[in-house]
Amino acid sequence: MVVVVALFGSLIGSFLNVVVYRVPAGLSILRPASACPSCHSAIRPYDNIPVLSWLLLRGRCRDCRTRIPVRYPLVELGTALLFAVVAFAFLGPLRVSGRPPAAAILELTAYLWLAAVSVALAIIDVEKHRLPDAIVLPTAIAVVALLGASAAVAGDWARLGQAAIGAAALFLFYLILALVRPGGMGFGDVKLAAVLGFALAWAGWAQLVVGAFAAFVLGGIFSVALLASKRVKRTGGIPFGPWMLSGAWFGIFFGAATVASYFAMIGVQ
């Protein structure tokens, strides 16, 4: 199942390349069909196989031989790997948890959706310093709907309430940061915080705390490294979205273990 999900992830990664290019430009992600941006030749179906087509074409357009950025296969491969990790993390515990299979599938689908969106938003924020509402808001609806349906199937309303509290808490925290320091934190970050807070708190309180804290740790380390290397200035506007997303996934995967290790270190059981 993990392999199947990974292969599906590579296909989603191919679609995400379209999303990353078109959404910031205000273009439709459905029409027209994919084409070379240089010669405008339509991409043939056999030239649209994730990763493999890029390798066979040696990173060039079949018609005009213009270079195809290496980012395209990297996004496809990265999405496949992230999907595989999410499937591995969720399918094992869910299989023995006694929860209804439909609830487990809905939960997994919600986190796979979030994984795909994480890839797209991270790239867009790095390149455009934006977290488009056209991606964030539908993701909020999808995650809440899928996890809400999972709670309904399993009768796990307490967990849904916990997720709602997490969403509100992280939203308010980022809103305060945005209001206290205008320009330091964008409202795209605030909206994304609500989505991540919901997904993190659904996984658990430990995941929420660690995921929220990890964003600032990872972002801080990276920012200090860039400043030390003089690759950016103090006012360079380093996007925070990628670190919010990275921190959230760290919390989802390792939050419970991190908190348990911390309590063991200080002697609390």
Predicted confidence (pLDDT) per residue in 143-155, tens digit: 999 999 999 999 9
Q: Is residue 2 part of a domain?
A: yes
Q: Is residue 89 part of a domain?
A: no
For residue 206 the two structure tokens come to 């430990």
Count of C-beta atoms within a 10 Å radius of residue 98: 7
Domain end position, chosen among 84, 107, 140: 84
> Does one domain contain both 79 and 104?
no
Domain end position, chosen among 58, 84, 110: 84
Predicted pLDDT at 146: 97
> Does one domain contain both 144 and 185?
yes
> Does one domain contain both 18 and 40?
yes
Question: Is the Cβ–Cβ distance between 269 and 263 less than 8 Å?
Answer: yes
CA distance 110 to 225: 34
> Does one domain contain both 73 and 110?
no
Q: What is the pLDDT of residues 163-188, one digit of tens each?
A: 999 999 999 999 999 999 877 788 99
> Does one domain contain both 109 and 211?
yes
Q: Is residue 92 part of a domain?
A: no
> Does one domain contain both 109 and 59?
no
For residue 130 the two structure tokens come to 């934006």
Domain count, the chain: 2
> Does one domain contain both 216 and 124?
yes
Residue range(s) defining the domain that contains residue 52: 1-84
Q: Is residue 75 part of a domain?
A: yes
CA distance 110 to 148: 10
Percent of the chain with pLDDT over 90: 63
Q: Is residue 174 part of a domain?
A: yes
Q: Is residue 134 part of a domain?
A: yes
Q: Is residue 182 part of a domain?
A: yes
> Could you give phi then psi for residue 30, rounded to 5 degrees?
-105, -35
CA distance 44 to 109: 30
> Does one domain contain both 78 and 102?
no
State the pTM of this model. Answer: 0.91
Q: Is residue 117 part of a domain?
A: yes
> Does one domain contain both 101 and 40?
no
Q: In the predicted model, what is the mean pLDDT of residues 77-86? A: 96
Distances 228 to 31, 225, 236, 246 between C-alpha atoms, Å: 44, 5, 13, 22
> Does one domain contain both 14 and 133?
no
> Does one domain contain both 209 and 184?
yes
Q: CA 156 from chain center: how many Å? A: 25
Q: Which of 90-99, 101-110, 232-241 has the highest mean pLDDT?
A: 101-110
Residues 6+ apart with CB under 8 A from 207: 200, 201, 251, 252, 255, 256
Residues 6+ apart with CB under 8 A from 61: 36, 38, 39, 41, 68
CA distance 171 to 178: 10
For residue 35 the two structure tokens come to 């084409």
Predicted pLDDT at 231: 64
Domain end position, chosen among 28, 52, 84: 84
> Does one domain contain both 176 and 211?
yes
User: What 3-state DSSP class applies to 93?
Assistant: helix
